[in-house]
Amino acid sequence: MRIAAVLFLALGLLAGCSTTGTLNTVQTPQQNLSPKHAAIVVDGSTGKVLYEQNSEAARYPASLTKMMTLYMLFEALESGKLSKSSQIPVSAFAASRPPSKIGLKPGQSIDVESAISALCTKSANDVAVAVAEALGGTEERFASMMTAKARQLGMRGTFFNNASGLPDEAQRSTARDMALLGIALRKRFPQHYGYFSATSFAFNGKTIRGHNDLLGRVSGVDGIKTGYIRASGFNIVTSVNSGGRKLVVVVMGGDTARSRNAEVEQLIDRYLPQASLGVATQ
């Protein structure tokens, strides 16, 4: 695919890169030495890597997985397979998934637009499985489709075994791959990217609030996704768009959500001035 080639080249043909290669490896003032930790900062306009630490080490993506679930759902919208008003049925298996969830019941359905909001904002596991079954027939088959799409996008260190990011020893990714996916989502689906900026959404007469505390608090942050399971620690992919400069910042393996967010803020402060200056966009 053309977009895969463009994105792969934009990220500087990272194959074989290490701290002794061409990457900028100046360390942040508070280097995280946790064995779960990984981080990368990428110029969102050029794909240039501005900073990395363990960026190609295997990590559990947790709910960052749903970024790919959403990529596949956006593709289904673009192809006409689904519309935003299409109803996605909810199986007993989907409804049985543990939290985070919105509490769907077997036999219910959810419209695609609400499903997008539930995945972006609430990180709903029941919705992720319902989407997987709607698009792939089974979650297992959909996970194979997700992995194939990851390869098309140049995500060579990623393997999906479910659509939600719930604990699975086989499900792995890297900070580099998550940055690549974050860039791909904005470039491929700018018309849908605003969903990642929402801090809440309305569903069945209730206001459901999200998990990303950086939204609305840190200037320029406009998405994308948080994630946590015990095996992964606290993960986040963050998009920044400020004054014509764009960053994608990935931090994985934080000890707490607060420490993870503090690291992201530190990385933004340090590297946003180094990002290429273009035309400010929404």
Instruction: Give per-residue pLDDT as tens, 116-127.
Output: 999 999 999 999
* Spatial separation of the C-alpha atoms in residues 139 and 95, rounded to whole Å: 13
pLDDT of residue 166: 98
User: Sign (positive/negative) of CA torsion 81, 84, 143, 190?
Assistant: positive
CATH architecture of 2-274: 3-Layer(aba) Sandwich (3.40)
Cβ-in-10-Å burial (0-12, 13-18, 19+) of 83 comes to exposed
Could you say which of 36, 48, 55, 63 is catalytic?
63
pLDDT of residue 43: 97
The question of whether 55 is a catalytic residue gets the answer: no
Annotated binding residue 225? yes
The question of whether 259 is a catalytic residue gets the answer: no
Ranges of residues in the chain with a pLDDT under 50 are 1-29, 280-282
Q: Is the pTM of this model over 0.85?
A: yes
The question of whether 83 is a catalytic residue gets the answer: no
